[in-house]
Amino acid sequence: MRSTFVKLFLCLVLGPGYATATPDIVDWPDVSGPYLGQKPPSDVPEIFAPNLISTDKSEIGSVFSPDHTEFYFTTWTTESGTKIMVTRRVDGIWLAPEVASFSNHRSDVDVAISNDGERIFFGTRRPRPGETEDRQDGFDIWYANRIAAGWSEEEFLGPVVNSGKSQVYPTVASNGTLYFQAVRKEGYGKADIYRSRLVDGIYQTPENLGPIVNSEHYEGDVYIAPDESYMIISIYGRNDDFGGGDLYVSFQDSENEWSPPKNLGPTINSNKRDFCPMVTPDGKYLFFSSKRLGVGDIFWVDASVIEALEGG
């Protein structure tokens, strides 16, 4: 009951930039604590917030805001397509998830938030500025800026970053460098990992991370550590894949060279698709999506599983 009153107050005070379109959630309980009241996992993955976040629908691609007061994730249904949802922590209580104000197209996916919390990135097939048709063969990266009422109107990141057939699953280092998955003619395989450096507030021409990271296979969803010391990638098609696509980790050494991606192993990965990695801002937990139980759920595990593979 308290969360309902808080939500109504915020919508009235903050206006339409706060959130839009409440989904069909009944009797959302008062949920507190840094991780929606959930008991932290060990080094074995557990489903995150069952019946609250992870439900009988498809939930993928989760991320916490740097101040840990917002939790974003993507839902998918045949009727509505994909929508980016958000639950906010107000006075210690997490409110029922709502569709984020910037997610107003049926193809919106894959949220990333800048280190200062002032910009949010996402992937979408919506029409580019000046166009009327949705993108049919790929995604673009768009963004919104933090304003008093929540988020500004969403904006196209521009043709420099969005210069390939498809670019999606953005992730941001603390220095602003944007890493993402892209399909481009000069790529090594079905999809590669690229990065675009932020120089004087302008994103530069994307760089392919090269053949140590990328291959003839499908290098997909990528998470970059804030200090760029490692990244986690979802890769499909490798000989050591346990099935459907697995999570791999690559470390960057003092010479700025990336190590060959190493499979996170059968404790983390399953014989189904495992994807959408994210490490919480406090560095404690690895979140990822998996189809091991059906259409898609969000799992979490102690982040020490990453450190255990460094130098091994």
Residues 274, 292 contacting (CB under 8 angstroms): yes
> 312 in a domain, yes or no?
no
> 152 in a domain, yes or no?
yes
* pLDDT surpasses 70 at 22: no
Instruction: Determine the pLDDT at residue 302.
Output: 98
Domain carrying residue 75: 2-307
> 254 in a domain, yes or no?
yes
Residues 112, 125 contacting (CB under 8 angstroms): no
* pLDDT surpasses 90 at 101: yes
pLDDT tens for 149-202 read: 899 999 999 999 999 999 999 999 999 999 999 999 999 999 999 999 999 999
Q: How confident is the model at residue 226 (pLDDT cuts 50, 70, 90)?
A: very high
Instruction: Determine the pLDDT at residue 13.
Output: 39
* pLDDT surpasses 50 at 1: no
CA-CA-CA-CA dihedral for 212, 182, 58, 86, to nearest 10: 110
Closest by Cα among 71, 48, 74 to 60: 74
pLDDT tens for 54-75 read: 998 899 999 999 999 999 999 9
Instruction: Determine the pLDDT at residue 132.
Output: 94
Instruction: Determine the pLDDT at residue 137.
Output: 87
Q: How confident is the model at residue 77 (pLDDT cuts 50, 70, 90)?
A: confident
Number of structural domains found in the chain: 1
| CATH number of the domain within which 188 lies | 2.120.10.30
Instruction: Determine the pLDDT at residue 3.
Output: 43
For the segment 229-254, the average pLDDT, to the nearest whole number, is 95
* pLDDT surpasses 50 at 129: yes
For the segment 110-125, the average pLDDT, to the nearest whole number, is 97
Residues 290, 305 contacting (CB under 8 angstroms): no
> 132 in a domain, yes or no?
yes
> 150 in a domain, yes or no?
yes
> 9 in a domain, yes or no?
yes
Q: How confident is the model at residue 20 (pLDDT cuts 50, 70, 90)?
A: very low
Instruction: Determine the pLDDT at residue 26.
Output: 54
Distance CA 66, CA 120 (A): 11
Whole-model pTM over 0.75? yes
